[in-house]
Amino acid sequence: MEDVQIIDLYWRRDEEAIRATDAKYGSFCHRLAMNILHSFQDSEECVSDTYGRCWDTMPPRRPGSLRAYLGTIIRNLSISRYRAARAQKRFGGAEVLLSELQDCVPAPENVQRTVEAAELGGLISGWLEGLDREDRALFLRRYWNGDPVKDLAGELGVRPNALTKRLLRLREGLRVHLEREGVAV
């Protein structure tokens, strides 16, 4: 089924939309969550939450790329879950209490951080557009999808060490670009 048809199902409030999304992008979503969380159960929950979030946001949203839209949601959910789990592990009860209380008050730091991330995202997009297609895909498959270096090296037919060096050069290029744009790195 084409993405446009799946999005239409969401807009018609047809539950078939979730089944179609799962059939087409289920494995993509699971892989993305697993790359961040390394836990099957957590990934499963993240994927379910992602479908719920899609149901809640379409309409009014009509994403240009359903895959990228799902990926963005699942990344955000997975990163939040990862942070929550890490905080709980490190600081126990106090951190959990603080994170719960954090939801009750306006949090300028979080807002600022979100704005910062969005601005930085725009700068990174600009930098990516200047790369050739392969480097761009490589950077995003590593840092957006979270694909392991070993898997990417296999796809490219190069050794993981060679790929690590190539990624290092790409990160260096990004650092130079951001410094030029006035971002303190």
Write the CB contacts of 101 (distance below 8 Å, at least 6 apart in sequence). none
Smaller CB distance to another protein: residue 55 or 144?
144
Residues 22-61 binding another protein (CB under 8 A) are 28
How many CB atoms within 10 Å of residue 123? 16
Say whether residue 99 binds another protein (CB under 8 A). no
Do residues 165 and 156 make contact, with C-beta atoms less than 8 angstroms apart? no
Rounded distance between C-alpha atoms, residue 116 and residue 121, angstroms? 8
Dihedral sign for Cα atoms in the order 172, 178, 180, 182: negative
Shortest distance, CB of residue 143 to another protein, whole angstroms? 5
Smaller CB distance to another protein: residue 51 or 139?
139
Smaller CB distance to another protein: residue 13 or 113?
113
Helix (H, G, I), strand (E, B) or coil at 93: helix
Which residues contact another protein (rule: CB under 8 A)?
2, 28, 63-65, 67-69, 71-72, 75-76, 79, 83, 113-114, 116-118, 120-125, 128-129, 133-134, 136-141, 143-145, 152, 155-158, 185
